[in-house]
Amino acid sequence: MLNIDNLTNEIDGKAILKGLSLQINAGEIHAIMGPNGAGKSTLAYTLGGRPNYDVTGGTATFEGEDLFAMDPHERAAAGLFLGFQYPVEIPGVSNLQFLRESLNSQRRARGEKELNGGEFIKLAKEKAGLLGLDMEMLKRPVNVGFSGGEKKRAEMVQMGILDPKLAILDETDSGLDIDALKTVGAGINAIMRKPDKAVLLITHYQRLLDYVKPDFVHVLAAGRIVKSGGPELALQLESEGYAEVIAA
């Protein structure tokens, strides 16, 4: 589904990713862990197409298409979802308006029929229910006045409504208490653990992986994947620390 080969990039002239390769197939859940400054968020933003995250070498294909040839909104329409570590606040635009425009933009781009108001509300209710988010919250402006946990929950509602093929979730677990972590974990499983979908979880900690069991765990350090393994690698990292595992 996603094939990254020898990716290098820079931000404002500073090299961050230094030859990163990763293959994710349909039906798989991958976790990328790594110390601060390793390039984890940079990887997520680069795949999402954030301005100023310039690709300087390597390739990434998504379902066989050149990912970097697509604009950010085209990547979304192709089925890529980027979960933000710090979801952005948009005063004056309600979540419902935001999501309906997003979904219908995607559907237009794919040549599908747009959802009308009634159809959209029905879908939004179902997905909000899945994440235990009150519909009243969705009437409020995007992320404005939301607590850290509410923002992450709202991100997962967005993911449920947009129904992507591949979700790249950048520290979706940060800022969550134990109960919210459980709900969000269950949401990710319900929405994304399917044979035709895949997830790339970016996290510092093992705790989210207790709820969303990864098939593969990778360690990212200094812009490269330095070690890959199964779920046991996350446990080893948790007990030994990054420095130990990276040095080994």
Partner 1 sequence: MTLLALPTRKDEAWRYSDLDALAAAWPVPAATRITVAEGESAHDHLLQDAADGATAVHDYVIDIADGARFDFHLLNIGGKLGRVTFAVTLGKGSHFELNGAIIGGGEQTLEIITSVTHAQPDATSGQTVRSILGSHATGNYLGSINVARDAQRTDAFQSIKAMLLDRTATANAKPELEIYADDVKCAHGATVGELDKQALFYMASRGMDPATAKTLLLKAFVAGVFDDVAQDDLRERFEAAALAKLGTLV
Contact footprint for partner 1 (CB under 8 A):
48-51, 71-73, 75-77, 81-82, 84, 87-93, 97-99, 101-103, 105-106, 109, 158, 162
Q: Sign of the CA dihedral 76, 82, 88, 91?
A: positive
CB of 158 to partner 1, least distance (A): 7
User: CB-based contacts of 52: which residues, under 8 Å, 6+ apart?
Assistant: 11, 12
Q: Decide whether 83 or 224 has the Cβ nearer to partner 1.
A: 83
The H or E element spanning position 220 is strand 216-221
Closest to 48 (Cα-Cα) out of 19, 95, 92, 85: 85
CB of 88 to partner 1, least distance (A): 4
CB of 192 to partner 1, least distance (A): 16
Q: Decide whether 44 or 181 has the Cβ nearer to partner 1.
A: 44
Closest to 221 (Cα-Cα) out of 193, 242, 239, 202: 242
Give the span between the Cα atoms of 12 and 14, in whole angstroms: 6
Q: Decide whether 156 or 221 has the Cβ nearer to partner 1.
A: 156
Q: Decide whether 88 or 178 has the Cβ nearer to partner 1.
A: 88
Helix (H, G, I), strand (E, B) or coil at 135: helix
Q: Decide whether 153 or 227 has the Cβ nearer to partner 1.
A: 153
